[in-house]
Structure formats: structure tokens, C-alpha cells
């Protein structure tokens, strides 16, 4: 019975880790794609290459950094509540 319970806990931990990895992946990918494409479009429209692309990438980096910080803060507070 303990072996089955250990297997269930291991699966639960694996799915939790996979969920966190997917969240972080989306948190990184979506802003860089959106702001990168938006910056490239603005550069093409105004002929300012690569100004807006670089601004978009910088904005994506800032937004992603804030999002990752908040996610890590949330995860650590959940871990502290379990202890």
C-alpha cells in the first residue's frame, strides 16, 4: 500500500513540476513573440529598423522578469505554507 501511495505522490509532483514549467514557458514566450512582432511591424511601418524591435524586446524582458519574480514568490509562499 505504501508503494502505491509513493507512486501517486511522485506522479503528483511530476505533474506539478510540468505545470510550473509550462507556465514559465508561456510567461517567457508570449511577451517576446507579441512585443517582438509588434516592434518589427512598427519598424516596417515607420522605417526605423531596429529601434522598435529592440524596444519591444526590452519591454518583453521587463514584463517577463516581473512575471517570473511574481511566480517564484507565489511558489515559495506556497512551500512555506506547507511547512
Rounded to the nearest 10°, the torsion over CA 80, 30, 62, 42 is: -170
Q: How far apart are the first and last CA of the chain?
A: 25
Exposure on the CB side of residue 65, measured as CA atoms within 13 A: 6
Express each pLDDT in 9-39 by its tens digit. Answer: 888 889 999 999 999 999 999 999 999 999 9
At residue 2 the predicted structure's pLDDT band, cuts being 50, 70 and 90, is confident
Rounded distance between C-alpha atoms, residue 60 and residue 28, angstroms: 8
pLDDT bucket at 1, cuts 50 / 70 / 90 = low
pLDDT of residue 18: 94
Residue with cell 509513493: 6
Amino acid at each position: 500500500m505504501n508503494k502505491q501511495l509513493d507512486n501517486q505522490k511522485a506522479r503528483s509532483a511530476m505533474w506539478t513540476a510540468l505545470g510550473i514549467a509550462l507556465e514559465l514557458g508561456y510567461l517567457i514566450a508570449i511577451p517576446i513573440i507579441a512585443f517582438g512582432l509588434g516592434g518589427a511591424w512598427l519598424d516596417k511601418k515607420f522605417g526605423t529598423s531596429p529601434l522598435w524591435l529592440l524596444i519591444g524586446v526590452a519591454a518583453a524582458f521587463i514584463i517577463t522578469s516581473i512575471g517570473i519574480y511574481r511566480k517564484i514568490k507565489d511558489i515559495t509562499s506556497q512551500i512555506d505554507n506547507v511547512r
